[in-house]
Amino acid sequence: MKTLVIASLIATATSFGAMAQTSTTSPTPAPAPADANAPLPGANSFTEGQAKSRLEANGYTNVSGLKKDDNGVWKGTATNAGAQVTVSVDYRGNITRN
C-alpha cells in the first residue's frame, strides 16, 4: 500500500509541470501534399460545380469548359497569374495545371 501511495505521489508531482505549460500560438495544419502522379484516374464524385469551386478556391478565375474525361478527371481552362492554362481536378481533389 505504501508503495502505491508513493507511486501516485510521484506521478502526480511530475504531471504538474506538463499542465503548467501554455502555448502562445495555435498549431496550423499542414496542407495535404499534392500527389506527384496527379491527376489520378478514378471514380470522381465531384460535380462540375464542385470542381469549378475547388479551382476558384485555389486562385483560378474564368474557369470554363470543364468536362470529365474517361479517367474520371475534370479538365478545362482557367486563368491563373494572368495566363490562360489547362487545368485538371482528379477524384482526390488534386489540381494540376498543364
Mean model confidence pLDDT for the chain: 78
Q: Do residues 41 and 71 lie in contact, with contact meaning Cβ atoms separated by under 8 Å?
A: yes
In angstroms, the CA 34 to CA 93 distance is 9
Strand pairing of 74-80 and 61-68?
antiparallel
- pLDDT, tens digit (0-9, with 9 covering 90-100), for 25-71: 444 444 445 667 778 888 888 999 999 999 999 999 999 999 999 99
Tell which wins on pLDDT, 42 or 2.
42
What nine digits make up the cell of 30?
499542414
What nine digits make up the cell of 16?
504538474
Q: What is the pLDDT of residue 88?
A: 96
Domain regions of the chain by residue span: 42-98
* SS3 label, residue 11: helix
pTM score > 0.75 for this model? no
Instruction: Please work out, in degrees rounded to the nearest 5, the angle formed at the alpha carbon of residue 55 by the alpha carbons of 51 and 59.
Output: 165
